Homo-oligomer: A and B are copies of this chain.
Amino acid sequence: MTDDLETEYPQPAESPGLMLWRVTNTWQRRVRAVLAPHGITHVQFVLLATLTWMDRDQPVTQRSLADHAGIDIMMTSQVVRVLEAKGYITRHAHPADRRAIILSPTPAGIDLANRANVDVEAVDRSYFSALGSTPKATFIHCLQQLNDAQTGT
């Protein structure tokens, strides 16, 4: 029939999905680079920072941390034990639910989360400054709409 690709996009750069994927990959590389000196990976940072940020007056289970961080429960299970082994998180039995595990950041974990967060937020400012004249708020609004549509909000 054809020996070419029949597409609605004259150029790949006009495909929103493809561009989204490329941009995320370059952003991830930047984040990974600034986290490396701290000795943690991106997912480890997100979970540790989210746990530190969350209100811990109520017990935080792995399930609730996973939901807040937007990371799936299997990944959370694995990474949380890595963070425990590194001394940044403690895992204790839930007093009322014997299936559940309560998570708390250690003082070292809270300290690391804050030090690493300074560098990550600096990367974000630098990376997204390329938006130039387009208000950053417009871009974030787009992302929030797309995210909400998936999470059923």
- The residues of A with any CB-CB pair to B shorter than 8 Å are 1-9, 12-28, 31, 46, 49-50, 52-53, 68, 70, 110-111, 113-114, 117, 120-121, 123-124, 127-128, 130-132, 134, 136, 138-150
Contacts and interface: CB of A to CB of B under 8 A. Distances in A.
Nearest to A51: B5
B130 A3 contact: no
A106 to B, nearest CB: 11
A interface: dominant SS: helix
Contacts of A144: 13, 19
Given A12-B53, A53-B12, A143 B20 contact: yes
A13 B140 CA distance: 8
B145 A4 contact: no
B2 A114 contact: yes
A22 B114 contact: no
B124 A16 contact: yes
A120 to B, nearest CB: 7
Contacts of A25: 70
Given A17-B123, A46-B18, A147 B117 contact: no
Given A5-B117, A53-B4, A139 B140 contact: no
